[in-house]
Amino acid sequence: GRSEWIEKYDFLPEKLDFGPDVIWATLDHRGQGASAGPRAHVDSYDDFAMDVAALVRQAFGSKPYAIIAHSMGGLITLYGSLKHFLEPRAVFLSSPLMGLRPPIPGNIARSVARIASISSFGILPTGFGTDRRDIFTDNVLTSSYKGFQTVLRSPYSKSAPSFGCVNATYWAL
């Protein structure tokens, strides 16, 4: 998901315990976690989907695979599958991103994001959509105190999505 990073899920392969014959591959989306690229920015979900497809080819070759994804990763998985960048045998999605809740009316937000994305403002952060890392009580993103503490100790900065990323998300939806 946006503002996520792979180290946050180090426990997952052991917890799921798919067995010794399973290959586990993971990545930070460009602009997130330890990945390269401008923070919380992408011009098109094609870029995200092609990144995942490259990882799949490298890790699995022509073998069948499944994708486990959370939030924005879920939208990338669905988008990449519908565009035929990805052809997973199965998908397991946790809270897939299926819409945006902008702080202004949606039709205005979409227009502003579109106009800004085709200008030099596209790379700039919107200032909205922060990940609410600071308060545990009633946090809509987690009910796990241990997980919340992991987020607080993150070496990665939190970033609002860029206008370009918001525009790309509207197009992907």
Question: Is-contact 92 68, C-beta < 8 A?
Answer: yes
* pTM given for the model: 0.89
User: What span, in angstroms and rounded, lies between the C-alpha atoms of 122 and 69?
Assistant: 26
Polymer length in residues for the chain: 173
Distance of CA 152 to the CA centre of its chain: 19
List pLDDT tens digits, range 89-117: 999 999 899 999 888 999 999 999 999 99
List pLDDT tens digits, range 16-60: 998 888 889 999 999 888 888 888 899 999 999 999 999 999 999
Report pLDDT for 129: 65
Q: C-alpha angle 144/94/168, rounded to 5°?
A: 115
Residue owning tokens 């939190």: 158
